[in-house]
């Protein structure tokens, strides 16, 4: 009994000591989250179109006579000048044709001389009726035929010389020549399908791109409005290269096709770009950047602040007592790293940047005010002053 009483008396003391030794749980602080204000400003919205580059002139080199290639008289991939010798086709068959035509011309010239001599002799005799009129007419006809034969022989000689000249293929323009499609010893024939090489004038480059019919109609109506902000957009076109860098020169819209392509439902446009450093080459695929819309007092928010679920765009908006509330918004086109907000927010509203899974509707946060502007380099956020 005495032992039991002692144990009961010691129990409160043990519980008291245990309570004193237990540490209190730390109070969890509110999550610190960057917040920024909805930005309101005028924006020029840029559309990207896929384009392909072409030289100012891209001239294919085709043979005009058939024969064996005797020599390539240029360096592939080099700059050539107009009139420079490029290819030599075996000239012997065509030189033989020239010689043959020359001999034919000499023959008809001899016949002409004889017919002229006969006519000169018969004409005075015919005046005194020493020969018949039939002989005079025959002599005149023979002389006329000889004159015609001379013209035919001269034309044949000229044609033979032209064909001989085609054995020397020269550059039609100055520019950059590509890799040869034929080698020495290859047999070539005339025709559009027989391409020896291509020369491109790289002074200015052409970039072709397509715009859908719906986009074309919208832009056309906007441009033709009184005091439209898009009237000069076609004179200030940008180019993004395949590595993501921007081309240093601005381009100008040079023409639009006469029709909508019925197979694609799109219209082809072409822009001209200066190419002083010869950076652009034919065949490159690029992105053509054109201002296609101007929004006055547009509302802008960072793209990374938007949460998209099942086609619905939402943001965490900062409310009273530093609580965030999920709000559904309607986003429009993109502008740099921002969305244009069509509905759901007002200028000056504060939204959380997000980027954490800990945010929930009604979560109390510690706001970290941050300045943000569309396209701001680096971290794109900076502490407000």
- Which whole number is the average pLDDT over 256-263? 93
pLDDT tens profile 302-321: 998 898 888 899 999 998 88
| Separation in Å, CA 285 to CA 45, 206, 240, 267 | 22, 12, 9, 18
Task: Give the CA angle between residues 255, 222, 42 to the nearest 5°.
Answer: 110
pLDDT at 193 over 60: yes
- Where exactly are the structural domains of the chain? 31-42+297-383, 47-56+203-295, 61-188
Domain 61-188 -> CATH class: mainly alpha
Beta bridge partners of 330: 343
By the 8 A CB rule, do 15 and 176 touch? Answer: no
Fold of the domain built from segment(s) 47-56+203-295: Elongation Factor Tu (Ef-tu); domain 3 (2.40.30)
Q: Express as a percent the part of the chain with pLDDT over 90.
A: 57
Quick one: CA dihedral 77, 80, 82, 88, positive or negative? negative
Cβ neighbour number for residue 268 with a 10 Å cutoff: 17
Identify the band that residue 6 occupies on the pLDDT scale cut at 50, 70 and 90.
Answer: very low
Closest by Cα among 284, 278, 87, 78 to 178:
78
Q: Express as a percent the part of the chain with pLDDT over 70.
A: 89
Mean pLDDT of the chain: 87
**How far is it, in rounded angstroms, from Cα 292 to Cα 44?**
8
Cβ neighbour number for residue 77 with a 10 Å cutoff: 10
Do the two domains 31-42+297-383 and 47-56+203-295 of this chain adopt the same fold? Answer: no
pLDDT tens profile 209-230: 999 999 999 999 988 888 888 8
Identify the band that residue 384 occupies on the pLDDT scale cut at 50, 70 and 90.
Answer: very low
Fold of the domain built from segment(s) 31-42+297-383: 2.40.420
pLDDT at 120 over 90: no
Identify the band that residue 164 occupies on the pLDDT scale cut at 50, 70 and 90.
Answer: very high
**What pLDDT sits at residue 355?**
62
């Amino acid at each position: 009994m005495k032992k039991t009483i002692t144990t009961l008396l010691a129990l409160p003391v043990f519980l008291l000591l245990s309570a004193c030794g237990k540490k209190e749980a730390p109070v969890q602080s509110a999550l610190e989250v960057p917040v920024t204000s909805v930005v309101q400003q005028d924006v020029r919205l840029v559309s990207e179109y896929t384009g392909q580059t072409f030289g100012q002139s891209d001239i294919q080199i085709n043979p005009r006579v058939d024969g064996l290639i005797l020599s390539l008289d240029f360096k592939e991939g080099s700059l050539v000048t107009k009139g420079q010798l490029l290819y030599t086709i075996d000239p012997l068959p065509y030189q033989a044709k020239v010689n043959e035509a020359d001999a034919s011309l000499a023959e008809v010239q001899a016949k002409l001389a004889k017919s002229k001599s006969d006519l000169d002799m018969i004409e005075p005799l015919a005046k005194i009726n020493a020969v018949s009129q039939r002989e005079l007419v025959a002599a005149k006809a023979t002389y006329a035929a000889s004159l015609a034969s001379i013209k035919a022989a001269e034309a044949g000689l000229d044609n033979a010389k032209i064909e001989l000249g085609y054995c020397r293929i020269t550059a039609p323009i100055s520019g950059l020549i590509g890799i040869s499609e034929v080698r020495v010893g290859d047999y070539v024939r005339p025709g559009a399908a027989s391409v020896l090489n291509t020369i491109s004038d790289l002074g200015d480059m052409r970039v072709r791109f397509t715009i859908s019919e719906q986009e074309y109609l919208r832009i056309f109506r906007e441009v033709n409005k009184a005091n439209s902000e898009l009237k000069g957009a076609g004179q200030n076109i940008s180019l993004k290269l395949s590595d993501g860098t921007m081309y240093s020169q601005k381009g100008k819209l040079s023409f639009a096709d006469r029709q909508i392509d019925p197979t694609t439902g799109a219209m082809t446009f072409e822009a001209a770009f200066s190419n002083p450093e010869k950076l652009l080459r034919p065949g490159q695929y690029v992105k053509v950047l054109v201002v296609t819309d101007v929004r006055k007092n547009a509302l802008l928010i960072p793209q990374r602040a938007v949460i998209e679920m099942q086609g619905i765009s939402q943001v965490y908006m900062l409310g009273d007592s530093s609580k965030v509330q999920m709000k559904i918004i309607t986003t429009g086109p993109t502008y740099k790293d921002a969305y244009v907000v069509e509905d759901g927010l007002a200028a000056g509203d504060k939204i959380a940047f997000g980027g954490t899974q800990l945010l929930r509707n009604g979560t109390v946060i510690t706001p970290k005010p941050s300045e943000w502007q569309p396209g701001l380099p680096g971290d794109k956020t900076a502490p407000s002053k």
